[in-house]
Structure 1
Amino acid sequence: MSVTCFIRYQIDPFQREAFRRYAEAWGRIIPRCGGNLLGYFLPHEGSNHIAWGLVGFDDLAAYERYRAVLRNDPEGRANFELAQTQRFILREERSWLEDVAGTVHQARQVAP
C-alpha cells in the first residue's frame, strides 16, 4: 500500500522566501534519501501563511528506511537546523494518507 505524508506548514508570511529556499533544498534531499517528492507548495491566493509538502513512499517500511538515511544526511540536518534557527515555520502538522490506485502520478491527457 503506497502512502503519502501530507505536511501542512504554518509559516511566517514575512519569511516566505526563507521557506522557499527550505523547500527547494528538500527537492534535492528527499529523493536522494529515498522519498518520492510530490512537491512543496507556497500560498498564492487567499491565506498567506499556509504551505504544503507532499512526500510519497511505497509503504511505511520505506518511510522508516528514508528516515534512517535522512538522519545521516548532512544537508538534511542543516536544512532542519536552518528552519529552527530562522523560525520561518511556526507550526507543522503531518497526516498520513493511503494513495488511491489509479490516481497518483497520472499524466495530463492532451486533447487532440
Structure 2
Amino acid sequence: MTITCHIRYVIDPFQRDAFEAYAQAWLSIIPACGGDLLGYWLPHEGTNDVAHALISFDSLAAYEAYRARLRADPAGAANFALAQAQRFILREQRTFLTPVTA
C-alpha cells in the first residue's frame, strides 16, 4: 500500500526565497534517502504563507526508515539546520494519505 506524506508549511512570507532554496535542496536529498518526492509548492495567489510538499512511500515502515536515513544524511541535516537558523518555517503539519484511485 502506497502512502503519501503531505507536509503543510506555514512560512514567513517575507522569506519566501529562503524557503524556495530549502525546497530545492530537498529535490536531491529526499530521493537519495528513499522518498518518492512528488514536489514542493509555494503560494501563487491568495494566502501567502502556506506551502506544501508531497512525498510517497511504499509503507509507513518505509517512511520510518527514510526518516532515519534523512537524520543521518549530512546534506539533510544541513538543510534542517538552515531552516532552524533562518526561521522561515513557522509551523509544519504532516498528514498521511492513501490513494482512492490509481
Category of TM-score, reference length = shorter chain: over 0.9
1:57 maps onto 2:57 in alignment = yes
What is the match of residue 67 of structure 1? Answer: 67
Instruction: Report the 3-state secondary structure (helix = DSSP H, G, I; strand = E; otherwise coil) of the residue aligned with 1:62.
Output: helix
Which residue of the partner structure matches residue 16 of structure 1?
Answer: 16
What is the match of residue 85 of structure 2? 85
C-alpha spacing 1:39/1:22, structure 2 compared with 1 (3 Å): same
Please tell me the root mean square deviation across aligned C-alpha atoms, in Å.
Answer: 0.8
Rg larger for: 1
Deviation, 1:101, is 4.0
TM-score, length basis structure 2: 0.97
- Aligned length in residues: 102
The structure where helix makes up a greater share of residues is 2
Superposition misfits of 4+ residues, deviation over 6 angstroms: none
Alpha-carbon distance between aligned partners in 2 of 1:101 and 1:68, rounded to the nearest angstrom: 30
Structure-1-length-normalised TM-score: 0.88
In the aligned structure 1, how far is the partner of 2:99 from the partner of 2:78?
30
- The Cα offsets for residues 50-105 of structure 1, whole Å up to 9 and x where unpaired, read as 00011000111111111121111000000000000000001111101112341xxx
CA distance in 1, matches of 2:62, 2:98: 14
Sequence identity, in percent? 66
Structure 2 spans left out of the alignment, 5+ residues? none
Provide the rounded CA distance (Å) in 2 between the counterparts of 1:101 and 1:35.
21
